[in-house]
Amino acid sequence: MSWPVYSVRFLSAYGVAGFHDYYVPAGKRAVVVDISASNVFGLAGVVQVHAVASVAWSHSFLASQETAQWTGRLVLYSGELLRVYTAIAEHGVNISGYELDAPAGTQDEPPPFTVHELPELGKPVA
């Protein structure tokens, strides 16, 4: 019996500046747990990781800095976009994590956003 593989590398970008995209497959959820960026030639520039429609991680390399890393948990639902932007081709990025089956019987849509209104200063919360 073979064991299912959950660990995946979602994106690996090196050698080409610009945007690199990954869409979460239907029926799956992606959990990003690690972003590693490298600056092998010591050139200044920026690396960004976008999740859905917002910047999830950004790093501005100084000319002398060689690597940067983020570790955490970022969940994307099926059909959602994970995008890497590298300002120059000499910056490399690897994004890895877990790809899991969406719960059976769900449409696998992200939960609705919740907006909480903040009370005005000096007024009690009802």
Tens of pLDDT, residue by residue, the chain (126 residues):
677 777 999 999 998 899 999 999 988 999 999 999 999 888 999 999 999 888 999 999 998 889 999 999 999 999 999 999 999 999 999 999 999 988 765 566 666 655 555 556 555 555
The C-alpha atoms of residue 47 and residue 89 are separated, in whole angstroms, by 11
Work out the angle at residue 17's Cα, subtended by the Cα atoms of residues 15 and 87, and round it to the nearest 5 degrees.
125
Q: Which residue type is seen at 48?
A: Q
Report whether 108 contacts 78 (CB < 8 A). Answer: yes
- What is the reported pLDDT for 82? 96
- What is the reported pLDDT for 121? 57
- What is the reported pLDDT for 76? 92
Report whether 21 contacts 13 (CB < 8 A). Answer: no
Q: pTM score, two decimals? A: 0.78
- What is the reported pLDDT for 5? 74
- What is the reported pLDDT for 19? 94
> Which of helix, strand or coil describes residue 6?
coil
- What is the reported pLDDT for 112? 60
Report whether 71 contacts 31 (CB < 8 A). Answer: no
